[in-house]
Amino acid sequence: MSLLTVENLSVVNSPSGRSISILRNISFSLNSGETLAVIGETGSGKSMLCKSIIGLLPPGFSRSGNIWYISSDNTKISIITAEESDLLNMRGREIGMVFQEAVASLNPVVRCGNQITDVLSVKSKIEKNKRKKHALKLLETVGLSEPERIFHAYPHQLSGGMTQRVALALALAGEPQLLIADEPSSSLDSISKKYYLNLLNRLKQENNLTLILVTHDVDEALSFADNILVLYAGCMTEYGRTGDIQKSPAHPYTKALLDIARALKENNLPAAIPGEISSLTNPPPGCRFHPRCPKAQDICRVKEPSSICISNSHSVRCFFLVDLS
């Protein structure tokens, strides 16, 4: 059963009367225990997608469409229409989130351990005198070898890899079903990154987590995710099972991303996608990818492609699909 179903989600920012479309018609569903990777360049709206799922869009942003979530007691909740108090209740306990800059997401003037017990005090039924013990255990589960020291440390006293794991412990403290990881490894060096991703995978299996992994690393997505969603300038260009996308990417943008990833892996200098990601404030008409698309035709410049289902788990938005043979 789908734990999370997103239907035609759009996010609009309206500063001083203008309306800027940040996300357009995003639809996907995520089964319990699976991993969805959201890939795209910086500015494609990945973070906004995460924030709309957890209901924490900045002021001035509004959502339309539907986000359905099946809570642990099997009730279907519409996240978009839910009351703030219900969402507050859900955050941490049903849906957890880790951010790109872990150290920035921790309170600089409160000890790491106390931040964990803060969460435990509102998100779990653990008695007060047992919270510290539980927090130490959590720190151990996220692979921190000196839990006692980390418990008493302030965030700035820890390395990037450590704070990222503390942040993970915080997100898992309320034992959520769904974990949203917004580029959790992008600020880490390659060794810590690998370690972190393996840890994430292990914890996912142990706790039967459902994971949304936002990344701009295509390889990471291919090796960890069951499904992949490709975002370009706020539009969902392609969505499908990882195997399908890897074998037969249908959208020119997905294909370009995969080509770059492959070239990097083979230590070749990849040919970058020409041009820059189109701005959200002033998007090009028609298909938002057309200024950079090698296959663009006249129709792409005037008309926005609608979603085509190639198979029941693979959809794409493009008039001229990449050769599917």
Partner 1 sequence: MISIILKRVLDSVPTIIIGITLTFLIVHLAPGDPGIRFLDPSQSPEIQQVIQKRFGLNEPLYIQYWNWVKRVLFHFDFGNSFYNGKPSSEVLRSALLPTILLAGCALVFALITGILLGILAAIRSNTFTDRTITIIMMLFFSTPAFWLGIMFLGVFSIQLGWLPSSHLTSLYHDQLNTIGRFTDYIKHLFLPVLTLGLPLAATFFRYIRSGVIEALRSDYILGARARGIGHNKILFRYCLKNSLLPIISLLGVIIPALLSGAVIVEVIFSLPGMGRTMVSAVFGRDYPIILAASILAFFAVVAGNLIADITYSIIDPRIRYQTRKNS
Residue 318 contacts which entry, partner 1, ligand SF4, none (Cβ below 5-8 A, type-dependent): ligand SF4
Closest CA to 293 of 268, 257, 261, 264: 257
Binder of partner 1 out of 7, 101, 259, 304 (CB under 8 A) = 101
Nearer to ligand SF4, 66 or 248 (CB): 248
Beta bridge partners, 182, equal: 214
Binding mask 261-300 for ligand SF4 (x = CB under 6 A): --------------------------x-xx--x-xx---x
For residues 322 and 256, give the distance between their C-alpha atoms in angstroms, rounded to a whole number. 11
Residue 112 contacts which entry, ligand SF4, partner 1, none (Cβ below 5-8 A, type-dependent): none
**311, 244 Cβ separation under 8 angstroms:** yes
Residue 241 sits in the site that holds ligand SF4 (CB under 6 A) = no
For residues 26 and 9, give the distance between their C-alpha atoms in angstroms, rounded to a whole number. 5
- Which 3 state secondary structure label does DSSP give 322? coil
- What amino acid is encoded at 277 in this protein? I
Residue 108 sits in the site that holds partner 1 (CB under 8 A) = yes
Residue 91 sits in the site that holds partner 1 (CB under 8 A) = yes
Q: How far is the CB of 295 from ligand SF4 (least distance, A)?
A: 4
Q: How far is the CB of 146 from partner 1 (least distance, A)?
A: 18
For residues 132 and 98, give the distance between their C-alpha atoms in angstroms, rounded to a whole number. 21
Alpha carbon of 203 to those of 172, 198, 199: distances in Å? 9, 9, 6
Alpha carbon of 240 to those of 40, 196, 260: distances in Å? 15, 25, 19
Binding mask 298-317 for ligand SF4 (x = CB under 6 A): --x----x------------
For residues 209 and 227, give the distance between their C-alpha atoms in angstroms, rounded to a whole number. 15
Q: How far is the CB of 213 from ligand SF4 (least distance, A)?
A: 24
Beta bridge partners, 232, equal: 235
Closest CA to 289 of 320, 314, 261, 312: 320
Q: Is the dihedral of CA 248, 250, 253, 254 positive or negative?
A: negative
Restricting to residues 246-265, which ones interact with ligand SF4 according to CB under 6 A? 251-252
State both tokens at 315: 């959809």
* Residue span binding partner 1 (CB under 8 A) among the ranges 27-35, 100-108, 188-196, 223-231: 100-108
**All residues at 6 or more sequence positions from 35 whose CB lies less than 8 Å from its CB, including other chains:** 204, 210, 211, 212, 213, 224, 225, 226, 227
Residue 324 contacts which entry, partner 1, ligand SF4, none (Cβ below 5-8 A, type-dependent): none
Binder of ligand SF4 out of 68, 154, 195, 319 (CB under 6 A) = 319
- What amino acid is encoded at 208 in this protein? N
Burial class (CB in 10 A: 0-12, 13-18, 19+), 155: buried
Q: How far is the CB of 232 from ligand SF4 (least distance, A)?
A: 8
Binder of partner 1 out of 130, 156, 262, 301 (CB under 8 A) = 156
Residue 113 sits in the site that holds ligand SF4 (CB under 6 A) = no
Residue 305 contacts which entry, ligand SF4, partner 1, none (Cβ below 5-8 A, type-dependent): ligand SF4
Residue 157 sits in the site that holds partner 1 (CB under 8 A) = yes
**Which residues of this protein are in contact with partner 1, per CB under 8 A?**
54, 56, 88-93, 96-97, 99, 101, 104-111, 118-119, 122-123, 154, 156-157, 167, 170-171, 173-174
The residue ranges that bind ligand SF4 (CB under 6 A) are 251-252, 287, 289-290, 293, 295-296, 300, 305, 318-320
